[in-house]
Amino acid sequence: MRIRLRDSLKTPKGYWYEGKLTLHNHFDALAHIGDALNRVPVEFADKDRRRFMASCFWHFLTMHREINFSGCIIHRLLLRKLHHNSPTDEMHFMLGTQSVRFSKVEFYLITGLRFGVVPETTMYAAVENGIHERYSPGAEEVSLEQIKGVVTGTDFGQAYNPVKLCLLYMLNWILMGVDDRFKIPVWQFRLVEDLDAFDTFP
């Protein structure tokens, strides 16, 4: 007997509801990254810009900034999420009479972001003389607001400092869209000190 897609819905249609969503869309802040790289001292400028353009986020600087994002469309899509027997890193949705898949493959094709091995982060500590110590000495926690202040208003004096700070800014403020009161975990500071490792982080 053929199983109807609606019978596999995680949220039965009778429980669907209109959602009110808070949207943190900060793609206009991509300009801050370009401005930060332009404030790098001449002796480091070309090197830092080349390194950022070799990073996992470089292509976002070339994207169209005026994005029309609809949280309601995402909400309605999630209401149509299906139970499935496929790999756990896939999501399936009911669109009309069709089941559509969203997996790592589609995520990569849309975002251009890479997938690497998830590092062990429970034992991470700040790197001596790293950006955590240099820009927030003595602070156990650093808020995203503090990182924003550095990225948007600091003159840099060492190669790759702006690259590392811009990567943290890009990850948390632009891609994840977290609140600027968010405390950036130490493992992110530790990871970004190894730029090659950061580039492969999922």
**What is the per-residue pLDDT for 1?**
37
Per-residue model confidence as pLDDT tens digits over 114-132: 776 766 766 667 778 788 8
Domain containing 156 equals 5-200
Using the Cα atoms of residue 127, residue 133, residue 135 and residue 139 in order, give the sign of their dihedral.
positive
Is residue 71 left, alpha or beta, with left meaning phi > 0 and alpha meaning psi from -120 to 50? alpha
Exposure string for 27-62, b = 16+ CB within 10 A, e = fewer: bebbebbeebbeebeeebbeebbebbeebbbbebbe
Q: What is the mean pLDDT of residues 70-82?
A: 87
- pTM for the model stands at 0.80
CA separation for the pair 11, 76 (Å, rounded): 11
Q: What is the mean pLDDT of residues 93-114?
A: 89
Q: Where are the beta strands (DSSP E) in 62-156?
A: 81-82, 91-95, 98-102, 142-143
CA separation for the pair 60, 40 (Å, rounded): 20
Domain count, the chain: 1
Burial of 14 (0-12, 13-18, 19+ CB in 10 A): exposed
